[in-house]
Amino acid sequence: MRRRNFITLAGLGATSLAAIGLPVFSRSIPANNINPGPELHADLVIAGGGVGGFATALAALRNGLSVIMTEETDWIGGQLTSQGVPPDEHRWIETHGAPQSYRTYRNAVRSYYKTNYPITPQAKDKEFLNPGNAMVSALCHEPRVSLAVLNDMLAPYLSSGKLTLLLEYKIRSAEYSGNRVKALKAQSLRTGKETILTAPYFADATEMGDLLPLTGTEFVTGTESRTETRELHAPEKADPDNQQAFTVCFAMDYLPGTNNIGDKPAEYDFWRNLVPEMTPPWPGKLLDLSYSDPKTLQKKPLGFNPDGSPTAPYLNLWNYRRILAKDNFTPGAYAGDICAVNWPQNDYILGNLVGVSEKEFKHHVNRGKQLSLSLFHWLQTEAPRPDGKQGWPELRLRKDVMGTDDGLAKYPYIREARRIKAQFTILEQHVGQANRVQVAGPEAGKKAANFYDSVGIGYYHIDLHPSSRKQNYIDFGSLPFQIPLGALLPKRVENLIPVCKNIGTTHITNGCYRLHPVEWSIGEAAGLLVAYGLKNGLIPYQVREGKDVLAKFQDFIRRQGIDTEWKS
């Protein structure tokens, strides 16, 4: 094999799971590549097996392409599995607002419970079963169920050899020339063995946009200035280091009559007493049953009662992201509910993960883990109870649910990545309701901007969590939006496509384009774009620039279950 000149990510935050103390486990499914050779080739190489990467692979495989997909953990699925985040969705999700394949996945999750779990007849009869009966989503469920469903969806392609899945592999470097990426170097986090991956096309589905600096693809991070974007909620000055909090999620259950209190976490006293420095101010200690209301930024009390009973007039945090409600299952099957914890109280704001050294990355992830363990210990020992007592020693950390020795998710939930400098950048003026009214009048506030090159649709309010630069929540209304093809295309590089949080949004619009179904939609559009381009001898820019070609491509993706416009 000829010598290759690879560009590494040294000093830009590249790291291994082992280096940051994240556990490495046995493979979740049989792989067809236990001993990959020194060089592997496919039609498409995807770096990252999260929601966007999975959807990219599924679309490409469905259209006859060969795919190599790497994933740093031993679980595909990203937010849905290894990060332990139940899906954040919009109210129309059962019928429209996401690709048909996403609804197929959701229906398969429900079918998995109805087929394999000791479910009650009443729950089994529910068309839209919500296993956790939670508030944040109509489909709150365990990460392992998503993992099983996603694995099943890929199984035929693994069996046929069309898919090569490299679990516990990380991209270490890249080779590129001019406007094209030529190869990636992937390293096994188990053995250290390196494998060269080549393809006509590459997709960046990493959680932080790792391929962008590796391949010389132009990108931005953090906040743009209001002068630059004219966005209503943009700050006066740009700040590439102003990035949203990340969260190390965990799962817990409640076993009445038990005492599960363990050793106090090493940083417990620090986190117990921390009052976050924010602008506008945070209303008190981080570990407290109150937080800064995202919309008003005033103090908002919360309730907590792990028996699931109401804590009116306040939201019971236990019910917010509950992933298994014991009442859905036959009596005695479960001693208590299971709850996933991705709350304001374990958002980590003391540093970034994007664009930092390996040492700093490790430092912040470990402190994020300490925050989550401290929150759990506080709930066990000091959280105020409705009966006037303190703490719930009956709470138990569910290590098995997250598949880890420490009970924390395999990978941090990262809300913000490097973003490409795109052919087209989505601004608040396109999707933010108030900003559209400001720019174009009241009628504009009824509908998001129309994108002629739409390749999908989605919706979520613009939701920016507190940031590392002490910026409190930014949370305001958006409008059901389209996904423009131009936002998936780097300005210069021809054969690299971002497929998740790294598309052409701003810091502001990232807040509504980063959620589970939107990431799936982006990934599926990207996979279809590669398939269509290879079949017709077109590069992505040519698909967008030719009016007739674009129309034919949009017809192609509509026939595969993608809506490009919202129903009236």
SS3 523: helix
Between CA 502 and CA 519 the distance in angstroms is: 10
Between CA 525 and CA 485 the distance in angstroms is: 8
User: Is cis: bond before 240, omega within 30 of 0?
Assistant: no
* Residue 502: C-alpha distances to residues 159, 319, 371, 422, 491 (Å): 31, 32, 27, 10, 13
The pairing of strands 201-204 and 322-324 is unpaired
User: Is cis: bond before 280, omega within 30 of 0?
Assistant: yes
Q: Which among 462, 455, 388 is positioned nearest to 430, based on CA atoms?
A: 462
The pairing of strands 201-204 and 496-498 is parallel
What's the sign of the alpha-carbon dihedral 344, 349, 352, 357? negative
* Half-sphere exposure (Cβ direction) of 230: Cα atoms closer than 13 Å: 8
Q: Which two tokens stand for residue 295?
A: 């919309």
Cβ burial 275-285 (10 Å sphere, 16+ → b, else e):
ebebeeebbee
* Residue 543: C-alpha distances to residues 167, 492, 494, 558 (Å): 32, 15, 12, 15
Answer for the pair 392, 383: CB distance below 8 angstroms, yes or no: yes
Q: What is the pLDDT along the chain (568 residues), one digit of tens a residue?
A: 455 666 655 433 333 333 333 333 333 333 444 466 799 999 999 999 999 999 999 999 999 999 999 999 999 999 999 999 999 999 999 999 999 999 999 999 999 999 999 999 999 999 999 999 999 999 999 999 999 999 999 999 999 999 999 999 999 999 999 999 999 999 999 999 999 999 999 999 999 999 999 999 999 999 999 999 999 999 999 999 999 999 999 999 999 999 999 999 999 999 999 999 999 999 999 999 999 999 999 999 999 999 988 899 999 999 999 999 999 999 999 999 999 999 999 999 999 999 999 899 999 999 999 999 999 999 999 999 989 999 999 999 999 999 999 999 999 999 999 999 999 999 999 999 999 999 989 999 999 999 999 999 999 999 999 999 999 999 999 999 999 999 999 999 999 999 999 999 999 999 999 999 999 999 999 999 999 999 999 999 999 999 999 999 999 999 999 999 998 7
With vertex at residue 355, the alpha carbon angle to CA 421 and CA 52, rounded to the nearest 5 degrees, is 60
Q: Which among 153, 145, 143, 169 is positioned nearest to 57, based on CA atoms?
A: 153
**pTM score of the predicted model:** 0.94
Between CA 391 and CA 395 the distance in angstroms is: 9
Q: Which among 119, 85, 178 is positioned nearest to 408, based on CA atoms?
A: 85
Between CA 396 and CA 181 the distance in angstroms is: 48
The pairs formed by 32-35 with CB atoms below 8 angstroms and a separation of 24 or more are: 32/158, 32/159, 32/161, 32/163, 32/164, 32/165, 33/164, 33/165, 33/166
